[in-house]
Amino acid sequence: MRSNPTFLAASISLLIAQSAFAEVDTQNNQQNPSTTSETVSLPTMGVSGTGFISSEATGEYTTARTNTATRLGLSLRETPQSVTIISRQVIDDFQLETITDVVKTATGVSSKMLDSSRQSFSARGFAITNLMIDGVPTTWEGGYSAGETQTDTAIFDRVEIVRGATGLMTGAGNPSAAINLVRKRADSREFQGHAIVSAGSWDKYQGTVDISTPLNEAGTIRGRLVGSYRQGHSFEDLLEDERQVFFGTMGFDLTDRTLLNIGVSHQKHDPTSSMWGGLPTWFSDGSRTNWNRSKTTAADWSKWGSDVTNYYANLEHVFESGASIYAAYSKSINEGDLRLLYLSGSPDRVTGEGLRASNSWYDTEREQDNVDIYGNVPFSLFGREHEVTIGMMHSDQDFVADRRPATNPAPVGNFYQWDGSYPEPVWGPKATYVSQDTEQTGFYAVSRLSLADPLTLILGSRITDWEISGMQWNGSLYEFEHSDEVTPYAGLIYDFNDVYSAYVSYTDIFNPQNLQDKNGDYLDPIEGKNYEAGLKAAYLDGRLNASFSVFRIEQDNLGQVDPNNLVPGSINQQAYTPAEGATSKGFEIELAGALTENWNVLLGWSQFRAEDANGDTVNTSYPRRTATLYTTYQIQNLTFGAGVNWESSNYTIANNPLGNPDKLKQESYALANLMARYQITPDLQAQLNVNNLFDEKYYSQIGFYSQYAYGAPRNVTASLRYDF
């Protein structure tokens, strides 16, 4: 009898929760001595005026409240949407080095590697295009990515992921998810910190230092510095990687009720022999290729370098009445140095000849200025307590990509003998290839209204002005403007008791898109609606959160790949067609937090169906079902854990060299990870992480420009951490 994965996931959740309650009851009767020192040794961390609580301070797999969905500072159970928290403890336990690593750990979110330096994220059948930093959204063009998906996690306290439409906070965007990167803060009134050194497969080495300290005797001025350096090779031939990260921040208690935070971060990513695209899928006779996982199309000189700098300042004040105000300014500068080689076509099975080379050197810069202001006011009405948040967000993003064409590209030759020694071409003069200015202003209001003891209404709306203008690679100018776009938000939560609640929510979807069809015309904006309902539970005073949600998304004008066409006049820019009446519907299950004092878990299951008005499947390159399980258990000085990621099959239809349609498919697969940590002394610990334990061979993507790429084989990292 074939097992039902959905039933299995739900059963595991219930069994784990039941075991947790049984063990907690035992611990209530008999204290576990192994946990006493762990509890006492938690660092002293501050709490900001608006209720920021560092996940470092708790060491938990969840958090007490989240601001990403509504800015109301609600707990997970009070938030009428699906929210996943990847806390600092999860990041440290499983060595999640980049945002891409975090995404692969989260419920219902998947990642595909486009090439050696770019990833694409998706949830509920749609691409994720919004990253948020401390609640402020930023968007980027995947084709000119400058390190966004390789953002280092060293500077972040946690990552909050809200699935579904998030227009109330992000304005324009896809109904997939918002990924909010929450920065670490200078909130320690004691000198503390840690240093980590690690070494791993493919000669990877990394060192990280994180120091917090008060800067005056009273501790009202505090500072924090984080620095990290990593270098190493890869399972891909020739590829080498170097990444430097710096983060400095200060916290000032201007008064007992006023907090000022300022900071700057910088990440320099300098990979060499970077791939642009993937590996050839077919030989010229139409038969499939089967390259080694280490095979590359990169040259010795190719690179996908990036420099990302962020400056920010935010001010928080809490009034005696309980009302609060928050004001922030931030500026981000992303610069890219992209010297790229793209190999296309299909080689001859015998001679290896037949591939074509496209060479381009892009210099990119994306500057974004953000203003974020909101206030929260609690109030009494009809004998009940309520609150309202009113805010404004403004962002102005300028993007420019300059290009140097290749004047004398050399022939590719025999791809069987490819060793990266392909000569760098003579580059032509630099000229602006594309430029784009995107400006968005949003005013929003959202309230939490207590209708009755068990019933709460979350009601809000946003008005967005969105404008984009620029120049395309062919010299054509464009300008789009969408004024007074209204995005409603509504959620209703019913509390059965102090543990269980049910909710329903609704929001509209609005998302301009700059995709072009085979005639070069831009597709109309995506429009639609998002519905969600679910059950939530908060066990053990909120240390363990469980949720079950169902959702339905309806939208029109969703851009779909037109596999047989490129945009006219482009080198390799994919053309798209609009899909009418697209729907995505499915459900998700999650259990996250502390089962006992010694046992943490992050368990999730997600599945959906996405179809157009004719019932035809859309976005087939995204897996329909995913499952994650990450758990750790501590016995005395030893902590051990395991993680499993599973996803169902996905595919893309493309024409082979003979002109016949071919299904490029990745079968379902699972990746297993292990970790073990030993506390050698109170200040020194050693950790071992093994990823892809069973050395599963799988595609990290298949079908992007009719090519494919492999995921990483088994790899090991050993590290030492010393706490000051």
| Cα distance between residue 43 and residue 270, in whole Å | 35
Examine residue 664 and state whether it is found in any structural domain, yes or no. yes
- For 279-331, the pLDDT digits (tens) are 999 999 999 999 999 999 999 999 999 999 999 999 999 999 999 999 999 99
CATH number, domain of 568, equals 2.40.170.20
Which residues, other chains included, contact 521 with Cβ-Cβ below 8 Å and sequence gap of 6+? none
Categorize the per-residue pLDDT at 138 as very low, low, confident or very high, splitting at 50, 70 and 90.
confident
Q: What is the average per-residue pLDDT within 39-66?
A: 66
Task: For 656-698, list the strands marked E by DSSP.
Answer: 661-666, 669-679, 684-691
Q: What is the average per-residue pLDDT within 395-424?
A: 94
CB atoms < 10 A from the CB of 249, how many? 22
Examine residue 75 and state whether it is found in any structural domain, yes or no. no
- For 554-563, the pLDDT digits (tens) are 887 777 788 8
Q: Is the pLDDT of residue 566 over 90?
A: no
Examine residue 74 and state whether it is found in any structural domain, yes or no. no
- For 570-608, the pLDDT digits (tens) are 767 788 988 777 899 999 999 999 999 999 999 999 999
Burial of 255 (0-12, 13-18, 19+ CB in 10 A): exposed
Examine residue 59 and state whether it is found in any structural domain, yes or no. no
| Cα distance between residue 415 and residue 176, in whole Å | 39
Tokens 């102005």, located at residue? 396
Q: Is the pLDDT of residue 219 over 60?
A: yes
What is residue 185's predicted lDDT score, i.e. its pLDDT?
96
Examine residue 313 and state whether it is found in any structural domain, yes or no. yes
Q: What is the average per-residue pLDDT within 98-126?
A: 92
Q: Is the pLDDT of residue 163 over 90?
A: yes
Token couple for 482: 């969408």
CB 383 within 8 A of CB 424: no
- For 663-682, the pLDDT digits (tens) are 999 999 999 999 999 999 99
Q: Find the radius of gyration of the CA atoms of the chain.
A: 25
| Cα distance between residue 36 and residue 705, in whole Å | 56
Examine residue 358 and state whether it is found in any structural domain, yes or no. yes
What is residue 51's predicted lDDT score, i.e. its pLDDT?
62
With a pLDDT cut of 70, the percent of the chain lying above it is 92
Q: Is the pLDDT of residue 517 over 90?
A: no
What is residue 26's predicted lDDT score, i.e. its pLDDT?
39
Burial of 41 (0-12, 13-18, 19+ CB in 10 A): exposed
What is residue 581's predicted lDDT score, i.e. its pLDDT?
76
- For 538-551, the pLDDT digits (tens) are 999 999 999 999 99
Average pLDDT, the chain: 89
Domain of 460, in residue numbers:
83-723
Sign of dihedral through CA atoms 55, 60, 64, 68? Answer: positive
Q: Is the pLDDT of residue 389 over 80?
A: yes
Q: Is the pLDDT of residue 535 over 80?
A: yes
What is residue 555's predicted lDDT score, i.e. its pLDDT?
81
Least confident range of 125-134, 154-163, 430-439: 125-134
What is residue 476's predicted lDDT score, i.e. its pLDDT?
82
What is residue 232's predicted lDDT score, i.e. its pLDDT?
96
Examine residue 577 and state whether it is found in any structural domain, yes or no. yes
What is residue 131's predicted lDDT score, i.e. its pLDDT?
87
DSSP reduced 3-state for 101: helix
Q: Is the pLDDT of residue 45 over 50?
A: no
Q: What is the average per-residue pLDDT within 415-425?
A: 96
Q: What is the average per-residue pLDDT within 22-48?
A: 37
CB atoms < 10 A from the CB of 64, how many? 17
Examine residue 67 and state whether it is found in any structural domain, yes or no. no
What is residue 117's predicted lDDT score, i.e. its pLDDT?
87
What is residue 514's predicted lDDT score, i.e. its pLDDT?
72
What is residue 142's predicted lDDT score, i.e. its pLDDT?
65
Structurally, how many domains does the chain consist of? Answer: 1
DSSP reduced 3-state for 142: helix
What is residue 21's predicted lDDT score, i.e. its pLDDT?
39
DSSP reduced 3-state for 427: strand
- For 336-378, the pLDDT digits (tens) are 999 999 999 999 999 999 999 999 999 999 999 999 999 999 9
- Cα angle: 171, vertex 172, 176; to 5 degrees: 100
What is residue 528's predicted lDDT score, i.e. its pLDDT?
73
